[in-house]
Amino acid sequence: MSTPARRRHPRRLPRHPRARGVLVGFLAAMLALIGGFVAVGEARLIGDALEQRHLAAFYEQPADAADGAPGTLVRSEELIGVPFDARAWRVMYRTTDVHGAPVVSTGIVVTPLGPAPEGGRTVLSWGHPTTGSAADCAPSRSFDPYELIEGMRLLLDRGYTIVATDYVGMGTDGPDSYLVGDTGGNAVLDAVRAAGHIPAAQAGTDVVLWGHSQGGQAVLFAAQRAHSYAPELSVEGVAVAAPAADLTALLSDHIDDISGVTIGSYAFAAYSGVYADRGATIGSILTPEAQQILPEMNELCLLENIDRLHEIGEPVVGHFVTADPGDTPPWATILTENSAGATAFDAPLFVAQGLDDTLVLPAATKTLVAGEQSLGMDVSFHEIAHADHGTIAYFALPALMAWLDAHHL
């Protein structure tokens, strides 16, 4: 026998005037806060849209663009659409390529509002994953130039000034530098120097490096080169997620699938220009069919055109290369030279690897970690279940924040 159900009465605001006033005030404050975030988001979108109107002009280099010391500014402009509680700038700055030649790169600088600690803010230099190789694939040229900076909000809240290079050859004119280790590492370090030329960025000389995939390779090379290339900077920590560290393994693992065709199309085009004097011609490694698709593949940005890239590349899967580049001169030597991990550095190293990653395979990252540990380096290795190549940098953020805390960074 069931008991009668109680009648439900609608909830009402408290009858006591003071209690009711407190509740109304709380609700008003919450609505104002939510409204503030919405307003900030809308303002950022409006700012992003306004910036697109004159975007192309910023990336046109003046005649003397490369004349000056690495890390000095060619130009900068403050951005209108910015993250909450921050200021940001688009920058064009000088750097050097693998041959030591002066070149130009672009990127963005983001810094929290408020006073900086004495000596300036620690600068976090971010290396983005593959977006393509054409000029308009540069993250700083996109509608949301902050989108690919993994953990940006957490990093700003920690007080870092963030710099994010586009690499050389993207954003503005320059040699194609896709997976060219020294060029990428120099661009990562010179972005830090460039931030130092913007007084309001409050950039100090302590540096943390953080990169994903292609960006993992770039920041590893930056760490290896920092002592000799930028001795005034102090690299305090290095963090990578699924780094493209061993290029021989990466291409060997994928040379007969669509990922290998896509990566190879970007990489072989870059290397054939950078290392032409060493006989690195396209005809020495790619089949005639692969050579035919190369120009169109290199015009397309990865994230926006993945389906089209696969459509173009699928017909040459299985007959993309004429031989294994890891066993073919000069390609074998070039891949080794552009693979990270052979040189130790003093800073602690954080490495994250997704166990569901089918591009940078977990075994390849384990080999990198073992090699770095054999050099006596302080390595913190995190294998993360259910993370794939696209999600690993995001899934690694809790462990990364704890590692930064543990090292007082």
Residues 355-401 have pLDDT tens digits of: 999 999 999 999 999 999 999 999 999 999 999 999 999 999 999 99
* pLDDT score recorded for residue 43: 53
Pick the closest to residue 321 from 236, 269, 261, 388 (CA basis): 261
288-328 pLDDT, tens per residue? 999 999 999 999 999 899 999 999 999 999 999 999 999 99
Separation between Cα atoms, residue 31 and residue 168, nearest integer Å: 45
Strands of 349-354's sheet in order across: 73-78, 86-96, 102-112, 161-168, 121-127, 203-212, 234-241, 349-354, 379-384
CATH topology of domain 55-246+339-406: Rossmann fold (3.40.50)
List, as one string, the DSSP characters of 155-174. Answer: HHHTT-EEEEEEEETSSSS-
Cis peptide, bond prior to residue 330, ω within 30 of zero: yes
Q: What is the average pLDDT value for the chain, to the nearest integer?
A: 90
Domain ranges for the chain: 55-246+339-406, 247-336
Q: Is pLDDT of 197 > 80?
A: yes
pLDDT-derived band of residue 278, with 50, 70 and 90 as boundaries?
A: very high
How far is the CA of 243 from the CAs of 172, 214, 246, in angstroms?
A: 25, 6, 8
Question: Please, which residues have CB within 8 angstroms of residue 386's CB and are 6 or more apart in sequence?
Answer: 354, 355, 356, 395
Dihedral pair phi/psi, residue 299, rounded to 5°: -85, -15
Q: Which residue has the higher pLDDT, 19 or 255?
A: 255
pLDDT-derived band of residue 17, with 50, 70 and 90 as boundaries?
A: very low
Q: Are 349 and 377 in contact (CB under 8 A)?
A: yes
Q: Are 180 and 225 in contact (CB under 8 A)?
A: no
* pLDDT score recorded for residue 36: 47
Pick the closest to residue 193 from 138, 240, 123 (CA basis): 123
Separation between Cα atoms, residue 329 and residue 324, nearest integer Å: 10
Pick the closest to residue 231 from 75, 345, 337 (CA basis): 345
* pLDDT score recorded for residue 52: 67
Separation between Cα atoms, residue 409 and residue 406, nearest integer Å: 8
95-119 pLDDT, tens per residue? 999 999 999 999 999 999 999 999 9
pLDDT-derived band of residue 54, with 50, 70 and 90 as boundaries?
A: confident
Q: Is pLDDT of 4 > 60?
A: no
Q: Is pLDDT of 13 > 90?
A: no
- Rounded average pLDDT over 220-229: 98
Q: Where are the beta strands (DSSP E) in 51-127?
A: 73-78, 86-96, 102-112, 121-127
Separation between Cα atoms, residue 19 and residue 326, nearest integer Å: 74
Q: Is pLDDT of 9 > 70?
A: no
Q: How far apart are the first and last CA of the chain?
A: 66
Tokens encoding 327: 């066993």
Q: Which residue has the higher pLDDT, 281 or 11?
A: 281
* pLDDT score recorded for residue 122: 98
Separation between Cα atoms, residue 154 and residue 156, nearest integer Å: 6
